A and B are shown apart, each in its own frame.
Chain A
Amino acid sequence: MLTSVLSLLALGFIASVVLSVASRVFYVEEDPRVEAVSEALPGANCGGCGFAGCDAYAAAVIQDPSVSAGLCCAGGPEVAAKVAELAGKAAGSAEPQISFRRCVKDEGKVKKKYEYQGLDSCAASAQLQDGPDACKYSCLGFGDCVKVCNFNAMYLEGGLVRIDPEKCVACGACVGVCPNKILEMIPRRARVQVFCSTLDKMKDVMNVCEAGCINCGKCVKKCPANAISNAEGNIRIDHVACLAYGPDCEEACVEACPRSILRLMCHNSVAHKAEAAVAAAAAAPEQQPQATA
């Protein structure tokens, strides 16, 4: 009886001694700030910061002076401020972005080439001649992006994917998974956007879609900031340049577009804001002070 108790005690004691010695011998110097930053981050491991998970970003932001403290898009500005405080860096102001679907095949009344009866997946259907739609660059509507979104910001409606602007944190997972590459990350402040991703031109587009971009290039020529280009086959807008140029152009590109596929992002456009201001002024004329001389 005694031997059993003593031998178990002895074994436990030896194990604890060995482990405590080992914890000194194998001691790994760890910055406690890394742990603190890990706690502050949301822990979603979405990868939106560009690092492999929240712990990796925590380690990088503390140890590497060049890594910005504002990279966590999922956490938003409060998390960025906390991380900046812990890391002793200025909270960089990353332009808040949002995912955007560049396809309006419902307006364009795009027909189907064939009836698809395969796996319920965009990636699978895209392998059969780029999908069942007549347009090869359309939103396939099976929801691979919906499945990959960690924040429940996407849902399917009417055969197209919709994005909930309040939930999207711009982590970029959906952009990577779309086989037709119709999802794009744009600034939330973007003033204009092309609502189509087609690489086709002119007649090829008009035959399959009533709304699609024909890549005529009129917007490219009109933009005074040179923010629009069609060098890569479809129209690309450099939103940074567009926003930097400011409202003086009065969104000339939108007027230039013959198909009305380059559209104002209503909530951001200058024209819309001007109209709203005029309406507000008209509604309360007595409160307007004398106009500046």
Chain B
Amino acid sequence: MMDYFLLLISAVFVNNVVLAQYLGQCPYLGCSKEKGVSIGMGAAVIFVMIIATPITWLIQFNVLVPLGLDYLQTIMFILVIAALVQLVEMFLKKAVPPLYSSLGIFLPLITTNCAVLGVAIVVQREGFDLGTSTYYSFATGLGFMLALILLAAIRERLEISRLPLAMRGVPAALVLAGIMSMSFMAFSGMI
């Protein structure tokens, strides 16, 4: 039980996928203008992560390792994640149309999100078993959503503040991201 709690703290705070591992920066800066949009993106990423990680884990241990094709890991994983996101899109469009239209353009954007590939590879490196890797990917997704919501909350307030013209919009967001990353460094060494 304690292990699971430590894994959660590690994935969300100590090794936050955006702020400590520097993965998934594009949606982090692109979808963090409003809180509602951030929550939607975070939910979509969690959804894809918890489906992609077990499938890639199974492929790693049932196809790649027995055939000695470890070096094809990156390509295989990308292929699987891309196909998976397409499948998820089709399923959502048929089964839950309101959710599909509210996620909108975010779902295909997740295909090339390196946070998803990142967590699939990290669980291989850490040597987790199937259950633990799924749980870890869920916790990673939570960390991603947390980082997005925090940035969105600050950016919403910056929108109506007086900033120098050159700093408005993305420049301020980039500086903010750097400062947030520094503040999350306070968690390092906790576990």
Contacts and interface: CB of A to CB of B under 8 A. Distances in A.
Interface residues of B, number: 23
A135 B87 CA distance: 60
B75 A23 contact: no
Interface stretch (A11-19, A83-91, A217-225): A11-19
B72 A22 contact: no
B46 to A, nearest CB: 22
A19 B72 contact: no
Contact of A15 (B80, B94, B95, B162): B80
A5 to B, nearest CB: 10
A19 B86 contact: yes
A22 B86 CA distance: 10
Interface in B71-85: 71-72, 75-76, 79-80, 83
B83 A18 contact: yes
A27 B94 CA distance: 7
Contact of B162 (A4, A26, A27, A119): A119
B67 A3 contact: yes
Given A3-B67, A120-B162, A8 B76 contact: yes
Contact of A12 (B63, B69, B79): B79
A54 to B, nearest CB: 13
Contacts of A268: none
A7 B72 contact: yes
A28 interface: yes
B89 to A, nearest CB: 9
Given A4-B69, A11-B79, A18-B87, 5 more contacts: A7-B63, A19-B86, A19-B90, A22-B91, A23-B90
Interface of A: 3-4, 7-8, 11-12, 15, 18-19, 22-23, 26-28, 119-121, 124
Give the 3 A-B residue pairs with the shortest CB-CB distance, closest first.
A26-B94, A15-B83, A26-B90
